[in-house]
Structure 1
Amino acid sequence: MATTRQGQRPAPASPPINAPGTPGRKAAGGRPTRAAALQLEQRILDVAAALFASQGYAATTMEQVADACKAGKDTIYRRYASKGALFGALMDRLRTEIIAELGACTPPSGPPLARLREFARALLEVNLRPQLVALNRVALGEAVPAKGVPPPSSTDDPFMQRLATLIQAAQADDALAEGDPFFIAEQLLYATSIRPLVATMLGDAQFADPAHRQSYFDQAWQLFFDGASQRPVSRATTRS
Structure 2
Amino acid sequence: MIDDTQNAAELRRPRSKSGAGRGGRPSKEQAGEVDGRILDAARQVFLRRGFEGASIDEIAEAARSGKQTIYSRFRDKRALFTEVVTRDILARIAEFKAETPVGSTLEERLSSATATLLRWSFDADRIALMRLAIAEANRFPDLAARVSRTARDLSTKLGADLLRRSIGADELASMPAFAPERLVMTARFFLDVLVVPMMFRALFQVDLKYLEPEIDRHIEAGVTFFLAACRNDETRGSI
* TM-score calculated relative to the size of structure 1: 0.68
* Equivalent residue, structure 2, for 1:17: none
**CA distance in 2 between partners of 1:66 and 1:166 (Å):** 40
Consecutive unaligned residues of structure 1, counting only runs of 5 or more, are 1-23, 236-240
Q: What whole-Å deviation, never above 9, does each CA across 1:3-52 have from its counterpart, x for those lacking one?
A: xxxxxxxxxxxxxxxxxxxxx93346432122211111111111121122
- Counting helix residues as a fraction of each chain, which structure ranks higher? 2
* Correspondence for 1:123 among 117, 122, 126: 117
The correspondence of residues 1-240 of structure 1 with structure 2, limited to 5 A, is 25-27=19-21, 29-94=23-88, 95-97=90-92, 99-100=94-95, 102-103=96-97, 105-107=98-100, 117-143=111-137, 146-147=140-141, 149=143, 150-153=146-149, 157-167=153-163, 170=167, 173-174=172-173, 176-178=175-177, 180-203=182-205, 205=207, 208=210, 210-231=212-233, 233=235
Consecutive unaligned residues of structure 2, counting only runs of 5 or more, are 1-17
**CA distance in 2 between partners of 1:186 and 1:83 (Å):** 35
Q: 1:234 to 1:220 in 2, by over 3 A?
A: closer
**CA distance in 1 between partners of 2:226 and 2:72 (Å):** 46
**CA distance in 2 between partners of 1:138 and 1:227 (Å):** 35
Quick one: percent identity of the two aligned structures? Answer: 22
* TM-score calculated relative to the size of structure 2: 0.68
Q: What is the aligned-residue RMSD (CA, Å)?
A: 3.6
CA deviation after TM superposition for structure 1 residue 210, in Å: 3.5
Q: What whole-Å deviation, never above 9, does each CA across 1:113-142 have from its counterpart, x for those lacking one?
A: 566543332121121111011011011221
Higher RCO (CA 8 Å, separation ≥ 6 residues): 2
| Larger Rg computed on CA atoms | 1
On the 8 A contact 1:49/1:90 being kept in 2, the answer is yes
Per the alignment, in what secondary structure is the counterpart of residue 107 of structure 1? coil
